[in-house]
Amino acid sequence: MVRNKDIDRSTGPLVVVIDDDETARVSIGQMVRLRGYRTQLFESAREALAWPGLPNSDCIICDVKMPGMGGEEFLARAGSLGFSCPVIMITGHGRVSMAVRCLKAGAYDFVEKPFEDDVLMASIRRAAEKTQLRRESNALKHRLSILDSDQDSHFGIVGRSRNIQDVFEQIEIVSKTVAPVLIIGETGTGKELVARAIHINSNRSQGPFVALNAAAIPETMIESELFGHAQGAFTGASSPRDGKLVTANGGTLLLDEIESLSLSAQAKLLRVLEDGEVFALGKDVSCVVDIRLLVTTKVDLKNLVRSGDMREDFYHRIMVYSIRIPPLRERLEDLTLLVSHFLRQLASRDGVAIPSIPEDTLGAMLRHGWPGNVRELRHTVERMLITARDGTVGPYLSDDGFGPSRLLSLPTTEGPLRDALEQTERNAIEDALARCKGEVVATASALGISRRALYERMKRYSLNKEDYRS
C-alpha cells in the first residue's frame, strides 16, 4: 500500500521512485522534491504497478535488485501494459551486460550507485521533458484528428491559454462600444485579426472594414490616402478621390502602425474624431463621416509623445481603450493548436494529406523564441508541409532558414571575424558545460544541438567534460 506520508500533492512533473531500500528511496524523493518535482514513493514494484496513477507519471526511477519483482521484470510488465513513461534504472551492482539488457528492454537510462545528484537529476529532467513532448505530440495528433477545427478558436483566433483568453474577453467588452481602441503587439502577433474581430462583433459589422498601413504610405501621400483629394489638388491628381475615412463611413477604419503618422495628419485626424468632418485636400467643403477608429502599434507611444513625434492630445484620444496581444513565447501552450490549425488549413489549400510531426521536431519548435510570432510559425509550418515526405513533415527551419540547433557558421578563411566568432562559440559551449556540470546530453540539449555536433566542437576547442564536473 502507498503510505500517506509518501504522497506529495504539490505541483510539477510527477516522479515515481521504486526502491526497497527506505534510506535510498526517501533520499531520492527529498532530492527530487527540492527541485520542484512531485514524488510518489514505493517500496516494491508490485505496489507501484497496482497504483492507478502510475501511467500518468512523468518519470519512473526503479532499482534493479529488489526482492519479489526486480527492476527488469517491472520494466517488462510496464511495457506489456502499454506504459510509455520513461523508466530510469538504478543499481549498486551494475554490469555492462545488465545495462545493455535494460536499455534494450526499453529503459530510458541506466544510472549506477553511488551517483552524483546532478547526474540523476539531469536524467530526470530529460525524461520529464520527453514525457511532456509526447503529451504535446499526442495533443497535436488529437487536434489533427478532429474534424471541427474551430473548437479552440474564438473570433477566428486560435488559442486556449489564459493570456489569449484575456484578449477574447477584452474583444467582447470593447465590441459593444464605439470608442477608439489601441491594439498593441509585436510584429506577427495578429493585431489585424483582433481589429477585424472587434468590427465583426460590433453593431457596425454590416458596414465596411477599411485597413490602411500608415508605414507603407509615403509621408507626402498619407493625407491624400486618409482624407481624399480634389481634382488638381496636387501634381498627379487628375481626378477626385475619396479617402479611406470616407470609404469607411458607417464602419470601421483600422490604421496600422499609427506611430508612422505625421504630426500634420495627426492634427487633421484628431479633428475628424472630434467633430466627424473630413476636408479632402483641395476642397473647402467638408464631408461628414461616422467611423469607428482602431489603431495598432508595436512601440511605446508614450516615448513618441515625450520626443515630440506624437501629439499628446492625439495620444489621449486614441488611448481610450487598449488591448495588448501577448507574443507567442508568452502563450506557448497554444503552439500545438496553432500548428494543427495551420497544417489543416494549408493542407486543405494545397489538396494534400495532413502529415505527422515527430516529437523531437515539436520539441524544437516549443523551445524556439518565435521573434516573428504567429506569422513566423505559419511560414514555418508551410515550409514543413511543402517539404513533407512519406507522411511526415519536412525539417523544422525557423524564418531565417535555419533550425534552432544551428550554432555559428564560421568563415572559411582565417581572419579577425573568424577569430571573434570562434571565441563567441567557445564561450557559449563552456558556459553550457559549466551549467550542466559537464553532462554531455544535458549540454547538447541546452545548446539545441546534437551530441555529435557538441563532441565535434569540444574537440575543436580542446574542451574536456571532466573539467566541468566539479
Q: What is the 3-class SS of the chain, one letter each residue?
A: CCCHHHECCCCCCEEEEECCCHHHHHHHHHHHHHCCCEEEEECCHHHHHHCCCHHHCCEEEEECCCCCCCHHHHHHHHHHCCCCCCEEEEECCCCHHHHHHHHHCCCCEEEECCCCHHHHHHHHHHHHHHHHHHHHHHHHHHHHHCCCCCCCEECCEECCCHHHHHHHHHHHHHHCCCCCEEEECCCCCCHHHHHHHHHHCCCCCCCCEEEEEHHHCCHHHHHHHHHEECCCCCCCCCCCEECHHHHCCCCEEEEECHHHCCHHHHHHHHHHHHHCEECCECCCCCEECCCEEEEEECCCHHHHHHHCCCCHHHHHHHCCEEEECCCHHHCHHHHHHHHHHHHHHHHHHHCCCCCECCHHHHHHHHHCCCCCHHHHHHHHHHHHHHCCECCECCCCCCCCCCCCCCCCCCCCCCCHHHHHHHHHHHHHHHHHHHHCCCCHHHHHHHHCCCHHHHHHHHHHCCCCHHHHCC
Crossing angle (nearest 10°) for helices 373-386 and 359-367:
160
Nine-digit cell string for 383: 515550409
- Higher model confidence: residue 287 or residue 1? 287
- Higher model confidence: residue 156 or residue 326? 326
Q: What is the pLDDT of residue 212?
A: 92
- The phi and psi torsions of 138 (rounded to 5 degrees) equal -65, -40
Examine the pLDDT at 145 and tell me if it is beyond 60: no
Examine the pLDDT at 137 and tell me if it is beyond 80: no
Least confident of 139-148, 173-182, 302-311: 139-148
Strand pairing report for 321-324 and 252-256: unpaired
pLDDT band at 235; cut points 50, 70, 90: low
Residues 6+ positions from 460 with CB-CB distance below 8 Å? none
Examine the pLDDT at 108 and tell me if it is beyond 90: no
Q: What is the pLDDT of residue 418?
A: 62
Examine the pLDDT at 169 and tell me if it is beyond 70: yes
Nine-digit cell string for 302: 508614450
Quick: pLDDT tens for 384-419: 898 888 888 887 765 544 444 444 445 545 666 566
Q: What is the pLDDT of residue 426?
A: 84
pLDDT band at 231; cut points 50, 70, 90: low
Give the CA diameter of the chain: 98
Examine the pLDDT at 148 and tell me if it is beyond 50: no
Q: Could you tell me if 418 and 426 are in contact, meaning their C-beta atoms sit under 8 angstroms apart?
A: no
* Residue in the structure block whose three cell numbers are 514555418: 380
Rounded mean pLDDT, 246-253:
93
pLDDT band at 164; cut points 50, 70, 90: very high
Q: What is the pLDDT of residue 147?
A: 38
Rounded mean pLDDT, 25-53:
91
Amino acid at 329: R
Quick: pLDDT tens for 422-432: 777 788 888 88
Q: What is the pLDDT of residue 143?
A: 58
- Higher model confidence: residue 120 or residue 137? 120
Quick: pLDDT tens for 325-371: 999 999 988 888 899 889 989 998 999 988 888 777 887 788 788 88
Q: What is the pLDDT of residue 407?
A: 47
Amino acid at 431: D
Q: What is the pLDDT of residue 242?
A: 81
pLDDT band at 232; cut points 50, 70, 90: low
41 to 4, 5, 62: CA distances (angstroms): 10, 9, 10
Nine-digit cell string for 236: 498627379
Q: Using CA atoms, how far apart are residues 309 and 168, in angstroms rounded to an integer? A: 32
Strand pairing report for 241-242 and 228-229: antiparallel
Rounded mean pLDDT, 136-155:
62
Residues 6+ positions from 468 with CB-CB distance below 8 Å? 430, 433, 434, 436, 437, 438
Q: Using CA atoms, how far apart are residues 70 and 85, in angstroms rounded to an integer? A: 18
Q: What is the pLDDT of residue 105?
A: 80
Rounded mean pLDDT, 112-130:
86
Rounded mean pLDDT, 143-152:
52
Average pLDDT, the chain: 83
Q: Using CA atoms, how far apart are residues 118 and 437, in angstroms rounded to an integer? A: 8
Q: What proportion of the chain, given as a percentage, has pLDDT over 90?
A: 37
CB count, 10 Å around CB of 324? 14
- Higher model confidence: residue 282 or residue 270? 270
Q: What is the pLDDT of residue 252?
A: 95
Quick: pLDDT tens for 430-457: 888 888 888 887 787 667 676 667 877 8
Q: Using CA atoms, how far apart are residues 240 and 197, in angstroms rounded to an integer? A: 32
Quick: pLDDT tens for 81-107: 888 889 998 887 766 677 778 887 888
Quick: pLDDT tens for 173-213: 999 999 999 999 999 999 999 999 999 999 999 999 999 99
